[in-house]
Amino acid sequence: MAKVFGHIEGHPVGSQYQRRRELHDAGVHAPLMAGIHGNSHEGADSIVVSGGYGDDEDHGSVIIYTGHGGQEKGRQVSDQDINHPGNAGLVRSELEGNLVRVIRGAGGDPDHSPASGFRYDGLFRVESHHSKIGVHGYRIWQFRLITADVPEEEDVTPFHGDMADEPAARRSVTVQRVVRKSAVTQLVKQLHKGTCQMCSQVLMVPGDSYYSEGAHIQAVGYPYNSPDVPENVLCLCPNCHVLFDYGARYLTDDLRIIDGITHHEIGKLRTHHKHKIEPRFVQHHRARWVSAD
């Protein structure tokens, strides 16, 4: 079924439904069984949050939502796969800034869920995703969803030729990729003279300056809160930074670079004798994307 992003006409936030069939008929959440409506090509447009995963967290405007798979009779019995269409759909929605309809069911967190049936609780954006070993001992994928409190007319901009020349900010749902800069990342970049430690590129721009990014190995954002020290920072070009942050690149303890999709070695990290990398950060990053050693 085609994905339809944004609110569904006639179904305002707060609408109540007794059964999944009604959500299906309304187009608020199309599948009758699956919790996620999505695939890697189009993204995910809606999810149902109704408990059932011991690792879910519902804080109202922030939801830690466990992805699909690996369950039998309500228990986690195997690892989840990030390439499952539902999970991949949430990754795609994160990368595209798609807003996801959140429907809460009666089985969820009692503070935030309806007493019975289902309730449409509005649009959320997927801020980030990560993987961890869940309470049942298997790898799960989790998506951090944040309420997207934007006026309805901004949710979807149709693709046609007659768009007025309005400033961009008025009609787009804006999502940001954040690249942090600090004195620590600056010093790491200076040691490497802006050379990417993975692909050896130096991006030069007018003004006789290189552009490179300080990439934290153990992520500084939620939920890791890692230290901003040189031992936890790599000097990377923006492309390798994106690939590293989304698990398409990871490192072995002896700093070989592994492709996160094929798991083949593709090179060795450039190093500098004044810039030590601490294995615990490399291990932490790796544990998010592949089985722990």
* Cβ closest to a second copy, residue 112 vs residue 132: 132
Residues in 2-61 that interact with a second copy by CB under 8 A: 40
For residue 108 the two structure tokens come to: 């969820």
What type of residue is 56? Answer: D
Question: Among 205, 254, 273, 291, which residue interacts with a second copy (rule: CB under 8 A)?
Answer: 205
Q: Least CB distance from residue 53 to a second copy, whole Å? A: 18
Q: Of these, 65, 120, 124, 289, which contacts a second copy (CB under 8 A)? A: 289
Q: Is 203 in the site for a second copy (CB under 8 A)?
A: yes
Q: Is the CB of residue 235 less than 8 Å from the CB of residue 195?
A: yes
Segment interacting with a second copy, rule: CB under 8 A, options 19-27, 49-57, 109-117, 211-219: 211-219
| Binding-site member from 74, 137, 159, 291 for a second copy (CB under 8 A) | 159
Q: Which of 21, 59, 75, 171 binds a second copy (CB under 8 A)?
A: 171
Cα separation, 124 vs 45, whole angstroms: 10
List Cα–Cα distances, 70 to 53, 81, 141, 173, in angstroms: 11, 8, 11, 33
Phi and psi at 85, nearest 5°, equal -50, -40
CA nearest to 38, candidates 71, 68, 17: 68
3-state SS assignment for residue 165 = coil
Binding mask 70-109 for a second copy (x = CB under 8 A): ------------xx---xx--xx--xxxx-----------
Q: How far is the CB of 25 from a second copy (least distance, A)?
A: 26
Are residues 90 and 115 in contact, defined by beta-carbon separation less than 8 angstroms?
A: no
Cα–Cα dist 134/187, whole Å = 37
Asked whether 218 and 233 are in contact (CB, 8 A), the reply is: no
Considering the complex, state which of residue 64 and residue 187 has its C-beta at the smaller distance from a second copy: 187
Which of positions 103-142 make contact with a second copy (CB under 8 A)? none
Q: For residue 287, which phi and psi values (nearest 5 degrees)?
A: -65, -20
Task: Give the range of 51-59, 107-115, 132-140, 236-244 binding a second copy by CB under 8 A.
Answer: 236-244
Interacting span for a second copy (CB under 8 A) from 7-15, 53-61, 104-112, 238-246:
238-246
Determine the 3-state secondary structure of 120 from DSSP: strand
Q: Give the footprint of a second copy on residues 246-265 (CB under 8 A).
A: 246-248, 260-261
Among 2, 33, 115, 169, binds a second copy (CB under 8 A): 169
- CA contacts within 13 A on the Cβ side of 175: 17
Output 209 or 291, the one with its CB closest to a second copy: 209
Query: Cβ neighbours of residue 190 under 8 Å, at least 6 residues apart?
Result: none
What does the per-residue mask of binding to a second copy show for 50-69, with x meaning CB under 8 A?
--------------------
